[in-house]
Structure 1
Amino acid sequence: MNQPQPTLNASIPVESAGRRLDAALADLFPDFSRSRLSAWIKAGDVLLDGEQVVPRHIVHGGEAVVLNARMQREVSAAPEAIELDIRYEDEDVIVVNKPAGLIVHPGAGNPDGTLQNALLHHEPGLVGIPRAGLVHRLDKNTSGLMVVARSLRAHTSLVEQLSARSVHRQYEALVYGPMVSGGRIDKPIGRHPVDRLKQAVREDGREAVTHYRVRERFRAMTLVECRLETGRTHQIRVHLASIRHPIVGDLSYGNLRLPKAATAELIEALRGFRRQALHAERLEFTHPASGESLAFDVARPADMTALIETVRADSQA
């Protein structure tokens, strides 16, 4: 079912004289992205002084604009009553704490039962937002904070903030091996040349930068804090594995390692931990409407806490 089709009326500001129409409209209607506005211009849904024009048309200032904003259905996923752990919500954004095991959006082999299905049940209006407001993602078996755009202006703003690398995303990871110190990993990432479900460090990949620092050292493992500068698929997992410190439980980019002389409790804990020990603990961004800086923190889940406590106890044994 399509969304209501609002008709918006405005005038091109004099200070926009000499600019392209699509650029002028992006300033005039900040709720919509420039690409969306350009598509509406091409479809004839924008009239300038009563005439249809092209996106590259140069404006002079003072022209009357009529915009028929076609709010089409953006997603086909069905709403599902899946419990959400919502940490913040207003008319523009939703901040949710995603549990490990929940896939973010439908895909091949996973047509339903995802975070996107849950969000559409919680807020049916998300059907008119690209990807139901999902502007970034977490892997299925990574837990933690995500921000969801609840309005078109929020979607535009959050995508721009992510592109400008101004969204602060901080993670906690338990990795194999004793780390001496923190550092910066600057290695491009692209699809794995053999396994199409994995990513890999490769020269022709996209730029990827991860910052990390040591939080706590254990006998055969290290608890680290990671901050994303870019947001490539599986970035932290690939980067940490590339410096020979794969994340505990991540069998895609590492393997099960049982430390020498490990306690029986640690061996049982490592064998039983069936996901990567990675948690998105902190999220900071600028509110799309108010311009206020918002920050959220969430404690690591119980399974990861129990694992770390067992590792700590082994180190003290």
Structure 2
Amino acid sequence: MNMPIADVVRRSVQVDPTLAGCRLDQALAALLPEFSRSRLQQWIESGQVLVNDAPRRCRDRVWNGDAIRIDAPLRLNDDCAAQAIPLDLVYEDAHLLVINKPAGLVVHPAAGNPDGTLQNALLHHAPELAAIPRAGIVHRLDKDTTGLLVVARTLSAHQSLVAQLQAREVHREYRALAVGELVAGGRIEAPVGRHPTQRTRMAVVARGRPAVTHYRVLERYAGHTLLAVELETGRTHQIRVHLTHSHHPLVGDRTYGGRPRPPRGADPALVAALQGFPRQALHAIRLGLNHPATGEPMVWEVPMAADLDDLLALFRQERARGTDSS
């Protein structure tokens, strides 16, 4: 049985130098992250993707300046089942959903996580999202990163939010607990791409995509620093990779940060909490954008995630203990 068609996708993009030499499907996945790679591959294979006005195969290479055009039917997301998974809704109207994502919730189905994702939950909460690419998800948070994430509820809202993200008009602020005592804030500008040998990781690599992260110091503790981090770009694992590249990995980041580093002589409760912290200490605390229907600037902020807040309380107690004993 043919699946019903919700709308038509028409996009034109151009290959930039960082993607020169990549496979067509890889380049499109980087240029249009709002669509799944499998969907892009289907469009390529059916001739609905043209490179310089000619059809190509998924494995064909693209080069700097190549013009890619998509004109394809957008079919319903019936390959992703609705599931009754609780959502912490911060805001909801006819155009947007803003969600406070918990740790452990994968954003959309992928290898190893076929269901039980935010996308499954969204389709249960708002079935009309089946007609939107990735059920309206326009940006991601890693599985174990907590905090704010916006979802488009209509195709026009989806197009507006994608355009705002590409124009760097979406303001995203995080709280990050980093290893090491940073003296001052700063700016990290280093290209991020797939690790050359460990394909499940990202890294700072010469041929990566441009990436810029800004940070400022909020609180200093023994051997650790709480940072406010703002993204200028939104590469995969950007904050985690940039802070590790700067020798200040996130607490709890087993992929990029290595083992916990409790302060020497710290209270046993703090040592145990650090050693047992189960995820990267990263929380998307603030989100700002222009409403896709009204153009009105909107800002949302949520409290610190409870597990990270508890860990910070122990660090503050340790700091006070050090002050009392001096």
TM-score normalised by the shorter chain: which range applies?
0.7 to 0.9
Q: Structure 2 unaligned runs (5+)?
A: 13-42, 48-52, 54-71, 322-326
Q: Deviations over 1:109-154 (max 9, x none)?
A: 1100000000000011111101110100000000000000100000
Q: Deviations over 1:10-52 (max 9, x none)?
A: xxxxxxxxxxx999xxxxxxxxxxxxxxx9xx99xxxxxxxxx
Q: Tell whether 2:221 aligns with 1:218.
A: yes
1:97 paired residue number? 100
* TM-aligned CA deviation for residue 5 of structure 1: 6.4
Instruction: Summarize the alignment of residues 46-57 of structure 1 with structure 2, pairs less than 5 Å apart.
Output: none
Q: Tell whether 2:236 aligns with 1:233.
A: yes
Work out the percentage of aligned pairs sharing the same amino acid: 55
Q: Tell whether 2:292 aligns with 1:288.
A: yes
Q: Tell whether 2:96 aligns with 1:125.
A: no
2:56 paired residue number? none
RMSD over equivalenced CA pairs, Å: 2.5
2:197 paired residue number? 194
Retained in 2: the 8 A contact 1:214–1:222? yes
* TM-aligned CA deviation for residue 70 of structure 1: 5.9
Letter in 1 for 2:267: T
Retained in 2: the 8 A contact 1:3–1:71? no
> How far apart, in 1, do the equivalents of 2:262 and 2:78 lie?
45
Q: Tell whether 2:298 aligns with 1:304.
A: no
* TM-aligned CA deviation for residue 2 of structure 1: 4.6
1:162 paired residue number? 165
**Equivalent pairs, count:** 265
Moved >3 Å (runs of 4+) = 1-6
* TM-aligned CA deviation for residue 302 of structure 1: 1.0
> How far apart, in 2, do the equivalents of 1:181 and 1:253 lie?
22
> How far apart, in 2, do the equivalents of 1:313 and 1:177 lie?
18
Secondary structure of the residue aligned to 2:254 is coil
Retained in 2: the 8 A contact 1:85–1:98? yes
Instruction: Summarize the alignment of residues 105-184 of structure 1 with structure 2, pairs less than 5 Å apart.
Output: 105-184=108-187
Secondary structure of the residue aligned to 1:289 is coil
> How far apart, in 2, do the equivalents of 1:105 and 1:115 lie?
6
> How far apart, in 1, do the equivalents of 2:212 and 2:77 lie?
31
Retained in 1: the 8 A contact 2:6–2:131? no
1:273 paired residue number? 277
> How far apart, in 1, do the equivalents of 2:78 and 2:293 lie?
24
Q: Deviations over 1:77-131 (max 9, x none)?
A: 1000000001111111100000011000000011000000000000111111011
Letter in 1 for 2:283: H
Secondary structure of the residue aligned to 1:295 is strand
Q: Which has the larger radius of gyration?
A: 1
> How far apart, in 2, do the equivalents of 1:241 and 1:97 lie?
26
Q: Deviations over 1:209-254 (max 9, x none)?
A: 0000000011211000000000000000010111111100001111
> How far apart, in 2, do the equivalents of 1:128 and 1:5 lie?
5
Letter in 2 for 1:196: R
Retained in 1: the 8 A contact 2:190–2:242? yes
* TM-aligned CA deviation for residue 3 of structure 1: 4.9
* TM-aligned CA deviation for residue 316 of structure 1: 2.0
Q: Tell whether 2:266 aligns with 1:243.
A: no
Q: Tell whether 2:260 aligns with 1:256.
A: yes
TM-score (norm. length: structure 1): 0.79
Q: Deviations over 1:157-214 (max 9, x none)?
A: 0000000000000000111110000000000000111211110001110000000000
TM-score (norm. length: structure 2): 0.77
Secondary structure of the residue aligned to 2:175 is strand
* TM-aligned CA deviation for residue 71 of structure 1: 5.6
Secondary structure of the residue aligned to 2:274 is helix
> How far apart, in 2, do the equivalents of 1:154 and 1:82 lie?
24
> How far apart, in 1, do the equivalents of 2:260 and 2:197 lie?
22
